[in-house]
Chain A
Amino acid sequence: MIALNINDRRVEVDAAPDTPLLWVLRDHLGLTGTKYGCGVAQCGACTVHLNGAPARACMTPVSAAVGQKITTIEGAKSKAARAVMAAWEKLDVVQCGFCQPGQVMSAAALLASNPKPSDADIDAALAGNLCRCGTYQRIRAAIHEAAKTLSVGGKS
C-alpha cells in the first residue's frame, strides 16, 4: 500500500510504484477531473499541484508523489483557484472542456506565485497546456480577469 496526501486527505492505494499518479487518481480513487490526453507530458490535461507547483500527473510515478501535498481540480479551493474558476465561467472560456481542468490548475499555480502576470508570463506558464478547441485567447483574458479580482481582495 502506498500512502498519499490528496486534497488534504490521507489515502492509501494498492498500486505498483511505477504507476503514474494520473491513473492512481483516476482509476484507483475516482478523481476523474484530471484527464489523460497524451501520457508524455505534452498536453497538460493531467496537471495537478505537488506542494503547490504544477506537475504533469501522467509522468509522475506515484512513488514520487509520496510525502507531497497533492492537489487535484476537485480539491483546488485556494483563493487563486477560485478566482480562476470564476473568471473561466464569466468569460465562458470552455468549449469541449476536456483540457480545462489542466488549464485551470496551471493558471491557479501561476497566480499563486505571480498575482499580476503579463501576457508573456501567461504564455510561459501555460505553454504546456494544449487546447485543441483553441480557447487560448480567452484563457489569457480569464487569467487577467482573475488577477484583477484577486487584487481587489479576492471577491470571487
Chain B
Amino acid sequence: MTTTIENVSRRDFLKAGVVAGAGLTLGVWFGPHAEAAATSAGGGITPNAFVRIGADDSVTVIVKHLEMGQGTYTGLPTLVAEELDAAWSQIRVEGAPADARRYNNLFWGPAQGTGGSTAMGNSFEQMRRAGAAARAMLVAAAAKEWQVPAASIRVAQGVVSHASGRKATFGQLAARAAEQEVPAEVKLKEPAEFIYIGKRAPRTDSRAKVRGTAIFTQDVRLPGMLTAVVARPPRFGARVKSFDAARAKAVKGVVEVVAIPNGVAVLAKDFWSAKKGRDALAVSWDESGAFRLGTAEILAQYRELAKQPGAVAAERGDVAKALAGAAKVIEADYEFPYLAHAAMEPLNCVVRLADDGCEVWNGEQLQTVDQYALAGLLGLKPEQVRLNMLYAGGSFGRRGNPKSDYLLEAASIARALTGGPHAGKPVKMQWTREDDMRAGFYRPLFLHRLKGAVDADGNPLAWSQRLVGQSIVAGTAFEGMIKNGVDATSVEGAANLPYAIPHFRVDLHSPTLGVPVQWWRSVGSTHTAFATEVFLDELCHAAGKDPVAWRRELLAAHPRHRGVLDLAASQAGWDKPLAPGKAGEKRGRGIAVHESFHSYVAEVAEVTVKADGSFGVDRVVCAVDCGIAVNPDIVRAQMEGGIVFGLTAALYGEVTLREGQVEQSNFTDYPLLRVHEMPKIEVHIVASNEKPTGVGEPGTPVIAPAVANALFAATGKRLRSLPLRLS
C-alpha cells in the first residue's frame, strides 16, 4: 500500500462518534495537541501516550503497531530508549489499546492499524519525540531538585546525573517529573549521537516466545470461556438452508449450537469437543447464489478481458505506435494463482459481550476498522468496542481484513448466545487449519499481458502491461484508494516501473468475482515484481545485454534502485562465472530489483537444476536500502523471512478452485518451504541517512523473479507463471 489511505466518510464518523479522550495522557502528534502530563498511582509518570516510567525504574513503551514477527515491539521501543537515554534492560513493552485519537497510524489519517510496512516510517519521529519529551521532564525535575541548570545535567543508561555528583534513577525522579510541564518542543539527537539506532538491540519478545510463555490469541483463557468451531459453506456465497444439531449436541462437552450469518457454530468447553461437534453437525446448504467457477474458467475469462483496454494507470509516449513500428515485438502472458496467507496460528479471536460493550482479544491489526465493524454489528458506539492487541502468530496481511471478517463471525456467535444460558460468556472462535485454508481472503489471481520492444541499438522502446485481477479494496473502507478506476494496490510496482522506457502504458481490469481477496505480504508487488522483472529479462535477452549492466543503464535516474542493484551484484560476484554443478546439473544465476513500500531491494539467486528437471535455490544475495536501518539485525531477519515467504510462493504457492470449491486443505497440499530446502541467504544493507522505511514486506516480491531469471539462465526456459514448474 503505497498510497495514503483517506476515507472521508470514516473521518466524519470518527469526529461524531469518539468522545474526548481520558485527558490523562499526551499524544505526541505533529499538531497542536499537547495536553497536561498526568501522574499515575505509585509515583510513576506517564508523560505521553507512548511512555510510562515506573517508580521501579521500568520504562514501559506503549506500541500501537501489532507485533506479528516483524519486530515492532523491539524497533519502536528502540526509538524511545534512544532519545530517553534509557538502559535497554529497563524497557518493557505494552500493546496500545484501540484509541485512534491517540494511536492512529500517521499515514492513515484517522485510522489506527498496522500494515503497508508503515510502522517504522510512522514511528521514527513520533516515538523519538515521545522519548525526548519524557527525558526533558526527568531532566527538568532533577534541575529543580538539585538547583542546577537543566543544560548541565547528563542522562545515560537510565541514570540522571550532574557534575556535582548528584544522581538519580528514572524511577526516583518519576513522581517529580510528572509535575513538570510537557515540553512543546524537543530536540532530537543527530545520527552521530545514536547509541541504539543502527546497532542491534535484542528483541524484547525472544525470551517469552522461546519459552512458550508469550500469549497469542490461541492461548487466551478466561473464566467461563467457550470455544467455537464453525461449519462454513462449501462454496463462497452459499448460505445455510437448514441444519440438525442433534448429533453435535450429543458430543460430550458441546454446550450449544447456533446459526450465524455465514454458517453454524458449535460451542463447547474445549476445542476438541467443539470440533467433534462441528464434524457431527448435519448442515444443508443453499448454494443458489454460490460461486461456481474453477481456476481454469477464471483464467479463460481473464484472457478474454485482456483483449480490451482497461483503466489507464500510467501512460507516456505512444505505445501503440511504437510497437507497430518496432522490428521485433515480444508478447507474453504472466499468470498468478490465488494464495493463502497460511500463518502458523490459524485465525481466531475471543469476544466477550457485556451490557456496556464488547471486549475482544486478538492479534489485532486494524483497530479502527474493526471497532466500527463490530460496533455496527452489535449496535454499539465504536469506543464501546475494547480491543486487546495480543501477539499474532503471523499475519502477512490476513489479520488486517478490511471487512473484519473473522471478528464479525466471532461476534455473531457471541451475540447468538444472548438470552440463553451462556449469554455473556467469552467465546473463543478457533478456525482449524482447513478452515483457514478454505474460508478465503486470498491474494487475488492475476493475469498480466505484456508487450514490449527494443530498438536496433538494443535500447528498450516500448512497454505495455495490462493487468487483470480483482480489486482488494473495492467495497471496503479502503475504497478511496481506487482513483479513475484504478486500484492502486493492483498496479503498485508496475505503474511506477523505474526503467527509462520512452513509450510506456499500464492499464487494469478489476473484475468482480465471488472469491474473497485480500492483501498478502507485499500486496500488488507479489505479482507486479515478477511480471516486470522477468519480462524485463526477456527484453534484455532480446537486446543481447547483460541483465545487471542493462538495468544499471535504464536506472540512471533512480540512484537507490541502482545502489541495491550494484551492491547485490558485487556481493554475489556477478562479474565472475558461477561455479559449475555436478555432472548432469545445470546452474544459473538471476537478478531482480524492485521498490515496494519505499524500500529498495535487489536479490541475486543461484539455482541448480538436476537432470530430472527438479531444482533448488542454493544461495540468495540480498541488498536492501530502507533508509536508516534502526535495527540492522531485524532488517536482516525480515529480508531472510521475506525471501522464504516469496520463495515458498515461487516453488509451491497455489490455491486452486474447482467448480468454486477450494482444492487445498492443509500443509499436505499447500506446502511451505522447509528447513532442508532453505538457501543460504546473505543480506547487505545500504548505508543511508534517509528516513527509515518498512522492511516487513519488501524482501518478498523480489525472490521469485530472481529465481525465474536464474532458471532461464540455467536452462533457456522462460517461466512466466507461478508457482515455477520446469517440467
Q: A interface vs B, CB < 8 Å? A: 15-16, 19-20, 23, 26-28, 30, 32-40, 42-43, 45, 72-74, 85, 88-89, 92-101, 104, 122-124, 126-127, 129-140
Interface size classification for chain B = 35 or more
Taking CB atoms, residues of chain B closer than 8 Å to A140 are 675, 678
Taking CB atoms, residues of chain A closer than 8 Å to B202 are 89, 92
Tell whether, in the assembled complex, residue A127 and residue B432 are in contact, meaning their CB atoms are under 8 Å apart: no
Tell whether, in the assembled complex, residue A138 and residue B640 are in contact, meaning their CB atoms are under 8 Å apart: yes
Taking CB atoms, residues of chain A closer than 8 Å to B203 are 92, 94
Whose C-beta in chain A lies nearest to the C-beta of B221?
A30
In the complex, A94 Cα to B209 Cα: how many Å?
7
Taking CB atoms, residues of chain B closer than 8 Å to A40 are 433, 666-668
Task: Give 1 or 0 for each of B201-224: 1 = CB within 8 Å of chain A CB.
Answer: 011011111111111101101000
Whose C-beta in chain A lies nearest to the C-beta of B639?
A134
In the complex, A131 Cα to B675 Cα: how many Å?
9
Out of B69, B218, B644, which one reaches A32, CB within 8 Å?
B218
Out of A33, A39, A98, A134, which one reaches B213, CB within 8 Å?
A33
Known contacts A74-B211, A92-B203, A124-B676; 9 further A-B pairs (Cβ under 8 A)? A15-B272, A28-B270, A95-B70, A96-B391, A104-B210, A132-B344, A134-B648, A136-B674, A137-B678
Out of B433, B634, B676, which one reaches A38, CB within 8 Å?
B433
Tell whether, in the assembled complex, residue B212 and residue A98 are in contact, meaning their CB atoms are under 8 Å apart: no
State whether A129 and B666 are in contact (beta carbons under 8 Å apart), knowing that A20-B272, A36-B218 are contacts in the complex. Answer: no
B334 within 8 A of A: no
Taking CB atoms, residues of chain A closer than 8 Å to B668 are 40, 42
Tell whether, in the assembled complex, residue A134 and residue B640 are in contact, meaning their CB atoms are under 8 Å apart: yes
Taking CB atoms, residues of chain A closer than 8 Å to B391 are 96-97
State whether A137 and B207 are in contact (beta carbons under 8 Å apart), knowing that A32-B218, A96-B69, A97-B214 are contacts in the complex. Answer: no
State whether A99 and B637 are in contact (beta carbons under 8 Å apart), knowing that A27-B227, A28-B270 are contacts in the complex. Answer: no
State whether A23 and B641 are in contact (beta carbons under 8 Å apart), knowing that A32-B218, A33-B213 are contacts in the complex. Answer: no
Tell whether, in the assembled complex, residue A134 and residue B673 are in contact, meaning their CB atoms are under 8 Å apart: yes
A45 to chain B, nearest CB (A): 6
Q: B interface vs A, CB < 8 Å? A: 68-71, 202-203, 205-216, 218-219, 221, 227, 252, 269-272, 342-346, 391-396, 430, 432-434, 633-634, 637, 640-645, 648, 666-668, 672-676, 678, 680-681
B618 to chain A, nearest CB (A): 13
Whose C-beta in chain A lies nearest to the C-beta of B201?
A92
In the complex, A126 Cα to B220 Cα: how many Å?
28
Taking CB atoms, residues of chain B closer than 8 Å to A74 are 211-213
State whether A35 and B433 are in contact (beta carbons under 8 Å apart), knowing that A42-B666, A74-B212, A134-B643 are contacts in the complex. Answer: no
Out of A35, A36, A135, which one reaches B640, CB within 8 Å?
A135
Q: List 9 A-B contacts (CB under 8 A).
A: A33-B212, A39-B434, A43-B344, A92-B633, A93-B210, A96-B345, A100-B210, A132-B394, A134-B673
In the complex, A113 Cα to B640 Cα: how many Å?
29
Tell whether, in the assembled complex, residue A94 and residue B344 are in contact, meaning their CB atoms are under 8 Å apart: no
Out of A39, A85, A95, A96, which one reaches B432, CB within 8 Å?
A39
In the complex, A15 Cα to B252 Cα: how many Å?
9
Taking CB atoms, residues of chain A closer than 8 Å to B271 are 23, 26-27, 36
Whose C-beta in chain B lies nearest to the C-beta of A97?
B209
A153 to chain B, nearest CB (A): 22
B521 to chain A, nearest CB (A): 10
In the complex, A23 Cα to B269 Cα: how many Å?
11
Whose C-beta in chain B lies nearest to the C-beta of A101?
B212
In the complex, A76 Cα to B675 Cα: how many Å?
23
Tell whether, in the assembled complex, residue B210 and residue A85 are in contact, meaning their CB atoms are under 8 Å apart: yes
A82 to chain B, nearest CB (A): 10
In the complex, A98 Cα to B363 Cα: how many Å?
12
Taking CB atoms, residues of chain B closer than 8 Å to A104 are 210
Tell whether, in the assembled complex, residue B205 and residue A97 are in contact, meaning their CB atoms are under 8 Å apart: yes
Taking CB atoms, residues of chain A closer than 8 Å to B221 are 30, 32
State whether A96 and B393 are in contact (beta carbons under 8 Å apart), knowing that A42-B667, A89-B202 are contacts in the complex. Answer: yes
Tell whether, in the assembled complex, residue B206 and residue A132 are in contact, meaning their CB atoms are under 8 Å apart: no
Whose C-beta in chain B lies nearest to the C-beta of A122?
B675
Tell whether, in the assembled complex, residue A98 and residue B394 are in contact, meaning their CB atoms are under 8 Å apart: yes
Tell whether, in the assembled complex, residue B675 and residue A136 are in contact, meaning their CB atoms are under 8 Å apart: yes
State whether A35 and B345 are in contact (beta carbons under 8 Å apart), knowing that A100-B210, A138-B640 are contacts in the complex. Answer: yes
Taking CB atoms, residues of chain B closer than 8 Å to A38 are 433, 666-667
State whether A23 and B272 are in contact (beta carbons under 8 Å apart), knowing that A92-B633, A130-B674, A140-B675 are contacts in the complex. Answer: yes
Taking CB atoms, residues of chain A closer than 8 Å to B345 are 35, 37, 96, 98
Tell whether, in the assembled complex, residue A33 and residue B272 are in contact, meaning their CB atoms are under 8 Å apart: no
Tell whether, in the assembled complex, residue A92 and residue B433 are in contact, meaning their CB atoms are under 8 Å apart: no
Out of B205, B433, B672, B681, which one reaches A94, CB within 8 Å?
B205
Q: Which 6 A-B pairs have the closest CB atoms?
A: A33-B212, A134-B644, A98-B393, A97-B209, A96-B69, A95-B69
Whose C-beta in chain A lies nearest to the C-beta of B637?
A95
Tell whether, in the assembled complex, residue B212 and residue A134 are in contact, meaning their CB atoms are under 8 Å apart: no
Taking CB atoms, residues of chain A closer than 8 Å to B212 are 32-34, 72-74, 101
B39 to chain A, nearest CB (A): 35
Tell whether, in the assembled complex, residue B216 and residue A98 are in contact, meaning their CB atoms are under 8 Å apart: yes
B565 to chain A, nearest CB (A): 23
Taking CB atoms, residues of chain A closer than 8 Å to B393 are 35, 96-99
Tell whether, in the assembled complex, residue B206 and residue A137 are in contact, meaning their CB atoms are under 8 Å apart: no
Whose C-beta in chain A lies nearest to the C-beta of B634?
A92
Most buried by B among A33, A94, A101, A127: A94
State whether A133 and B346 are in contact (beta carbons under 8 Å apart), knowing that A96-B394, A123-B675, A138-B637 are contacts in the complex. Answer: no
Taking CB atoms, residues of chain B closer than 8 Å to A36 are 218, 271, 346, 430
Out of A16, A35, A95, A126, which one reaches B641, CB within 8 Å?
A95
Tell whether, in the assembled complex, residue B342 and residue A132 are in contact, meaning their CB atoms are under 8 Å apart: yes
Tell whether, in the assembled complex, residue A16 and residue B252 are in contact, meaning their CB atoms are under 8 Å apart: yes
In the complex, A40 Cα to B434 Cα: how many Å?
10
In the complex, A33 Cα to B213 Cα: how many Å?
6
